[in-house]
Amino acid sequence: ADVGIKPLKDGINPLRPGLKYMINAGSVGQPRDRDIRAGYLVWDDQAGRLEVRRVMYDHKKAAGRIRKAGLPMKYARVVCPDI
């Protein structure tokens, strides 16, 4: 079986009929792509597409809570690189 790895782009990602997909949406609040916005997916099985959406949130406040909880500073910097 052919296997391909393709990063999702923001916006609409068409899905080809008859194929199986394993999709990792990642996690909100610990971005690995350096985009500080929260990301999530909307899957429309009728239209055969996956939409990647991103929204702003108070990432500075989230970083402050991470620090207040006593977690390592590196986790706060992932959320808010300018602290």
Per-position DSSP letters for 9-74, written without gaps between them: PSEEEE--TT---------TTS-SSS--SEEEEEEETTTTEEEEEEE---HHHHHHHHHHTT--HH
Q: What would the pLDDT profile of 50-72 be if each residue is shown by its tens digit?
A: 999 999 999 999 999 999 999 99
pLDDT of residue 53: 92
Band of residue 34 on the pLDDT scale cut at 50, 70, 90: confident
pLDDT of residue 69: 97
Output the pTM of the full model: 0.71
Q: What would the pLDDT profile of 2-15 be if each residue is shown by its tens digit?
A: 677 777 888 999 99
pLDDT of residue 24: 81
